[in-house]
């Protein structure tokens, strides 16, 4: 089960071998040969290593922090050397703190290696995948497990294909607004507490619910609602890229700050070091927040293409004014 991110996860953190096995069991077709106490050991770098040089006896700069992958080339080499030599090389990698080895392409560790692994608390895994396929998939999985994370109070929805995070003080109608959007074709990602993951490679954020509350909403006066049961499976998303933050604030608190034409400097909300466009929506009695959020999402998509309605309107007003001035001059000259 996915746990809530802690403060230490905001800069990225290592994962345990058990985390890796749980996350990659299906995609990597993993089988555990030796586990035990080694499952709690940590994988410090989100990448795999093929220890060809270490198997040949050169262990300077050995990257023990990574998963060690034994593929066709490595297996062929160890079969070409005496049993005592291959065992000594394996023991040296273990001595240098390597904690998990994966045998790919259907290869399996020898009995001697299994015995050492059991004695030293080293995890041995096998996968039928080709080494290149395993390396690619494992790196993606490790990147996700080690990504910087945080948790924010608020509701995440997909509106018109856009990932929108609704935040604001309690009682301002975030969940009710999300429910209204869902009835108009939007999809729920997370309600009340949203888990945020940073994709370091693209410098973008992805939002999801924690496993225990995925698909559920709390609506004041109604109670707990299971969204896919009422609105169908298409009304929920497992994870969605965060592209817009909408902040609800009481109108009386921001009356002098309300942007009425959209010409002010656009606000941003910085989360895990990533700047996300931020719109502040005033909340007052009778205001249709569902329509406002939907329109804000559609407007943001339009602006993202380079279109600027304020500039266009200003140009039209200038043209109209210029035409009017030219008309006056023409009449005077006539």
Note whether residue 133 is domain-resident.
yes
Burial of 98 by CB count in 10 Å (0-12 exposed, 13-18 middle, 19+ buried)? buried
Which residue would you say has higher pLDDT here, 11 or 270? 270
3-state secondary structure of 242: coil
Which CATH number fits the domain that encloses residue 117? 3.40.1390.20
> Is 1's pLDDT higher than 50?
no
Structural domain that includes position 29:
12-146
- Do 158 and 178 fall within a single domain? yes
Burial of 224 by CB count in 10 Å (0-12 exposed, 13-18 middle, 19+ buried)? exposed
Check if the beta carbon of residue 50 is closer than 8 Å to that of residue 71.
Answer: yes
Which CATH number fits the domain that encloses residue 226? 3.40.50.300
- Do 155 and 23 fall within a single domain? no
- Do 137 and 156 fall within a single domain? no
CA distance 221 to 173: 12
> Is 2's pLDDT higher than 60?
no
Q: What is the pLDDT of residue 303?
A: 86
Task: For the chain, give the percent of residues with pLDDT over 70.
Answer: 91
> Is 184's pLDDT higher than 60?
yes
> Is 305's pLDDT higher than 50?
yes
List the single range of 49-58, 132-141, 255-264 with lowest mean pLDDT: 255-264
Q: What is the pLDDT of residue 251?
A: 84
Summarised one tens digit per residue, pLDDT across range 22-76 is 999 899 999 999 999 999 999 999 999 999 999 999 999 999 999 999 999 999 9
- Region 281-300: what's the mean pLDDT? 91
- Do 85 and 187 fall within a single domain? no
- Do 183 and 69 fall within a single domain? no
Q: What is the pLDDT of residue 61?
A: 94
Which residue would you say has higher pLDDT here, 11 or 139? 139
List the single range of 80-89, 150-159, 247-256, 281-290 with lowest mean pLDDT: 247-256
Count of residues making up the chain: 334
Summarised one tens digit per residue, pLDDT across range 97-135 is 999 999 999 999 999 999 999 999 999 999 999 999 999
Note whether residue 333 is domain-resident.
no
């Amino acid at each position: 089960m996915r746990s809530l991110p802690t403060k230490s996860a905001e800069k990225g953190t290592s994962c345990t071998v058990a985390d890796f096995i749980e996350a990659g069991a299906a995609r990597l077709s993993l089988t555990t040969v030796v586990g035990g106490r080694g499952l709690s050991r940590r994988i410090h770098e989100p990448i795999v290593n093929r220890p060809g040089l270490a198997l040949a006896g050169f262990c300077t700069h050995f990257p023990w922090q990574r998963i060690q992958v034994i593929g066709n080339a490595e297996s062929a080499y160890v079969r070409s050397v005496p049993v005592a030599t291959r065992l000594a090389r394996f023991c040296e990698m273990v001595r240098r703190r390597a904690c998990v080895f994966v045998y790919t392409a259907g290869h399996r560790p020898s009995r001697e290696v299994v015995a050492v692994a059991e004695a030293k608390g080293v995890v041995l895994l096998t996968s039928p995948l080709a080494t290149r396929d395993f390396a690619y998939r494992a790196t993606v999985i490790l990147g996700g497990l080690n990504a910087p994370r945080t948790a924010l109070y608020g509701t995440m929805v997909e509106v018109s294909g856009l990932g929108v995070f609704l935040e604001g003080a309690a009682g301002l109608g975030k969940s009710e607004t999300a429910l209204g959007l869902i009835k108009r074709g939007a999809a729920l990602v997370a309600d009340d507490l949203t888990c945020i993951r940073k994709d370091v490679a693209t410098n973008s954020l992805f939002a999801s619910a924690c496993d225990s509350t995925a698909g559920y909403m709390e609506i004041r006066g109604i109670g707990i609602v299971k969204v896919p049961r009422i609105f169908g499976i298409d009304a929920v998303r497992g994870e969605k890229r965060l592209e817009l933050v909408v902040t609800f604030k009481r109108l009386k608190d921001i009356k002098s700050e309300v942007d009425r034409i959209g010409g002010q400097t656009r606000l941003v909300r910085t989360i895990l070091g990533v700047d996300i466009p931020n719109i502040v929506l005033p909340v007052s009695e009778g205001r249709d927040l569902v329509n406002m959020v939907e329109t804000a999402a559609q407007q943001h998509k339009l602006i993202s293409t380079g279109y600027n309605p304020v500039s266009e309107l200003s140009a039209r007003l200038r043209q109209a004014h210029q035409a009017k001035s030219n008309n006056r001059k023409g009449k005077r000259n006539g």
